[in-house]
Amino acid sequence: MKTAIVTGVTGQDGSYLAEFLLTKGYRVVGVVRRSSSERFERIEHLREKITLDEGDLLDQSSLVRLIEKYEPLELYNLAAQSFVPTSWSQPVLTSEFTGVGVARVLEAIRMVNPKVRFYQASSSEMFGKVREVPQKETTPFYPRSPYGVAKVFGHYLTVNYRESYGMHASSGILFNHESPRRGLTFVTRKITDAVARIKLGKLDKLKLGNLDAQRDWGFAGDYVRAMWMMVQRPEADDYVIGTGVMHSVKQFCDRAFARVGLDYRDHVETDPAFLRPAEVEHLCGDITKATTVLGWKPEVDFNGLVDMMVDADVERHSRGN
Ligand code: NAP
Ligand code: G4F
């Protein structure tokens, strides 16, 4: 049986990737970090189907041990401190988790078995203050946050291990992808969660930062499929994954409130507390390479994504959760 190790399995993407790999017949080993209380909500339904074992991107020997113990064919490195604002309040921790952590995983593979195929969760945040529109694999990076800088480090390290050691190491440059499992601090889920509470009379106002920021939003379930497709290629490479369509935070609000028959202008307020020291104003992916080389394309569009998230939050809050 093929074994895949997934770091960050408790996160949004980790949970969808674990589900996807199970459908492909893998034994899935999810890496979890020790905590005083378990927070495995996103993978609760998979607990009996996957193996969970302890490891931390801060701890080199834990990564070596996991690769020795499970002898994986593939390793997907999804773990990171992934919230951009936190990268300003905790820049060193973000650099350690999101940047140097990639070096620890790559070194663990190189030391134990350099034939293990590796996927790195790179980000469109690397494009930051964009140098061209839309952004593709060759667009120069201009990160605008400690998070973006750490991701650039992880990306180039992945490229370097591929070129220096001949490792099958691919970097997926993924644009924003969301789902009902998205963390509540990210803008999409913050909006859909608030829409549900406002509709049910549990909240009146939603405070947001920059409503004009534009993102290329897709569905996480589609994007984990692209990760796997990259790892199956004969040669490792870098791929931009997105939808090629951009919307503003305002447009997201408009659609989300309209889904429950409300007008966002009656409920959304701007609050400078949610503005960032440096903003990434607009991101939009050119997915030509992914569609032509991988044969990948997204299945859920913007409206479908917003509706799915609103409906899930309305359903959850209606149950009292
Ligand atoms: P997420 O929901 O924030 O999940 C992050 C995961 O990383 C969690 O499982 C977390 O574990 C784990 N983690 C954090 N620090 C760790 C450490 N020191 N050791 C081991 N595990 C650690 O993120 P996501 O949205 O699923 O994103 C997955 C990856 O893709 C991340 O690397 C993110 O930066 C990148 N990415 C995301 C997007 C997007 O739009 N979602 C776009 C581009 C790239 P706990 O549960 O213990 O906290
Ligand atoms: O949802 P966000 O926090 O996502 P952001 O910063 O784009 O980062 C996400 O996508 C990256 C891929 O490009 C990932 F690498 C990263 O890990 C993460 O998943 O913010 C999106 C936009 C920003 O421009 C932000 O300024 O929404 C704007 N925004 C406006 N009001 C807000 C808010 N963002 C948040 N989180 N909260 C607000 O109240």
Pick the closest to residue 76 from 222, 225, 181, 231 (CA basis).
231
Q: CB–CB of 105/119 below 8 Å? A: no
Ligand showing the shortest atom-to-Cα distance for residue 154: 1
pLDDT level of residue 259 (50, 70, 90 thresholds): very high
Q: Each residue of 50-98: pLDDT tens digit?
A: 999 999 999 999 999 999 999 999 999 999 999 999 999 999 999 999 9
- In the chain, domain spans: 3-177+217-241, 183-215+246-280+300-318
Q: How many C-beta atoms lie closer than 10 Å to residue 266's C-beta?
A: 10
pTM of the model: 0.99
Rounded Cα gap, residues 222 and 305, in angstroms: 11
Ordered DSSP codes for 45-65: GGTTTSEEEE--TT-HHHHHH
Average pLDDT, the chain: 98
Could you please state the CATH topology (level 3) that the domain comprising 183-215+246-280+300-318 is classified under: UDP-galactose 4-epimerase; domain 1 (3.90.25)
CATH class, 3-177+217-241 region: alpha beta
pLDDT digits (tens, 9 = 90+) for 217-243: 999 999 999 999 999 999 999 999 999
Query: Is 125 tagged catalytic?
Result: yes
Q: Is 307 exposed, middle or buried (0-12, 13-18, 19+ CB in 10 A)?
A: middle
Q: Is the CB of 79 under 6 A from ligand 1?
A: yes
Do the Cβ atoms of 209 and 271 come closer than 8 Å?
A: yes
Q: Which residues contact 263 (CB under 8 A, 6 or more apart)?
A: 257
Query: Hey, whose CA ends up nearest to atom 14 of ligand 1?
Result: 80
For residue 57 and ligand 1, the question of a CB distance below 6 A is answered with yes
For residue 273, what pLDDT is reported? 98
Q: Residue 147 catalytic? A: yes
Residue bearing the CA closest to ligand 2, atom 23: 213
Distance CA 97, CA 40 (A): 20
Backbone angles phi and psi of 12, in degrees to 5: -55, -60
**CA-280 nearest atom, ligand 2:** 24
Told to judge if 264 belongs to the known catalytic residues of this protein, a careful annotator would answer no
Structure tokens at 21: 């790999």
